[in-house]
Amino acid sequence: MKYRAVMDSPVGPLTLVEEEGALTEIRFGKRCEEILLCETALLQQAVQELNEYFSGQRKIFTVPLNPKGTPFQQQCWKALLQIPYGETRTYGQQAVMIGNPKASRAVGMGNHCNPLPIVIPCHRVVGANGRLTGYAGGLNIKQMLLQTERMNHP
């Protein structure tokens, strides 16, 4: 059974989806009407952790995660979790992290499919020139997330 919660955040409404005791999706906006709206303990924890993140009090998420994707996408997302709070990496650097230095474009596509933005921090990946590039929530949200982290990073 899938459950969802909708929370207000500084980047607009977020829909959180839980399945089998783990957070599986975070979607920008209020979507997923077909999924039961329910306040489970896990979804309450996820909302609390996201609120703490937005207020600068949380740098690492502890809510159980289970993002669904291909083995390559899973590799990309594991590498994202290794990028420290308040720091950025390029797609090329992320490709090196997964052991495939020539796969920067493929890494970009893997990041684009990330079902758990913010918690799996694809916003921390920038272009080779240091500029912001695509983000599912929009570049304005990516910029806001990076600014939040920079302001709260020692």
Decide which of 3.30.2270.10, 1.10.1060.10, 1.10.10.10, 3.40.50.880 is the CATH code for 71-151: 1.10.10.10
Q: Where are the domains of the chain?
A: 2-54, 71-151
At 83-109, the pLDDT tens digits run 999 999 999 999 999 999 999 999 999
Q: Which residues of the chain have pLDDT under 70?
A: 31-35, 154
Determine the Cα–Cα distance for residues 119 and 145; give it in Å rounded to an integer.
11
Architecture of the 2-54 domain: 2-Layer Sandwich (3.30)
Question: What pLDDT does residue 17 have?
Answer: 93
pTM, rounded to two decimals: 0.92
What is the model's pLDDT at position 32? 65
Q: Which residues are catalytic?
A: 122
